Structures are given as structure tokens and as C-alpha cells.
Amino acid sequence: MARRCELTGKESMYGHNVSHANNRTNRRFVPNLQKVTLQSDALRKGVKLRVCTRALRSVQRNGGLDAYLLSREDAKLAPLGLKLKHQIQKALSAPKKATKAA
């Protein structure tokens, strides 16, 4: 499984450890990924995702998964985030079904 955030697309970066003697050794900078279940009001279900902590904070600040995805540009979302955004837009634009009142 790739070390990639499923909402933002943030992934591993490469660089160097630099010692006091200026020796350089290769290293990886990996995002802090967490497995979370985020609730979608429009889809009426929980969505399991591997999300970096920065994206998780942004989701909370925007007021939930739906609001976060709808506020982001398509170019700034990972493929799974873009797919979820389209599902949410479709669910919100669908006409509401009338329920029978007893």
C-alpha cells in the first residue's frame, strides 16, 4: 500500500540527513498517515480513509468531510477524494424523496 494521503495526495519525499561534518546520507520524509472513518452527511455513511494529519485538521476546521471536499478545487484532490466529491455532489443534487405521513 502506497504511503499517500487519499484526500490530498500528499506522498513521500526524498532528501538528505546532513551531519555536523556535512556528510549527506539519503532519507525519506513520509507523511503522518492515520486510518480514520469520516462521516458523510450527504452519503449517509462512514468512509474509511488513510489521511495525513494535516488533511484531518482541515476536514475538522471546514466542518466535516462534505464541506471540506466541496470547498477544495478538483486539481488539489487525490483521485479517491475527487471520486468522493463527485458522489457527494450527485447525492446533494438528487431530488428528495417524499415520505408518507401516517
How is the chain split into domains, by residue range?
A: 1-75
Cα–Cα distances in Å, from 86 out to 46, 60, 73, 100? 16, 20, 12, 30
Which residues contact residue 33 at a Cβ distance below 8 angstroms, ignoring those fewer than 6 apart? Answer: 3, 4, 5, 50, 51, 52
First to last CA, the chain: 51
pTM for this model (two decimals)? 0.81
At the topology level, CATH places domain 1-75 in Ribosomal Protein L24e; Chain: T; (2.30.170)
Which residues contact residue 35 at a Cβ distance below 8 angstroms, ignoring those fewer than 6 apart? Answer: 48, 49, 50
Is the confidence at residue 22, as pLDDT, over 80? yes
Distance from C-alpha of 59 to C-alpha of 95, rounded to nearest angstrom: 26
| Confidence at residue 100, expressed as pLDDT on a 0 to 100 scale | 67
Distance from C-alpha of 70 to C-alpha of 3, rounded to nearest angstrom: 24
Q: Which residue has the cell 428528495?
A: 96
Give yes or no for a contact between 69 and 94, defined as CB atoms under 8 angstroms apart.
Answer: no
Is the confidence at residue 48, as pLDDT, over 70? yes
| Confidence at residue 83, expressed as pLDDT on a 0 to 100 scale | 95
Percentage of the residues of the chain whose pLDDT score is greater than 70? 93
| Confidence at residue 101, expressed as pLDDT on a 0 to 100 scale | 64
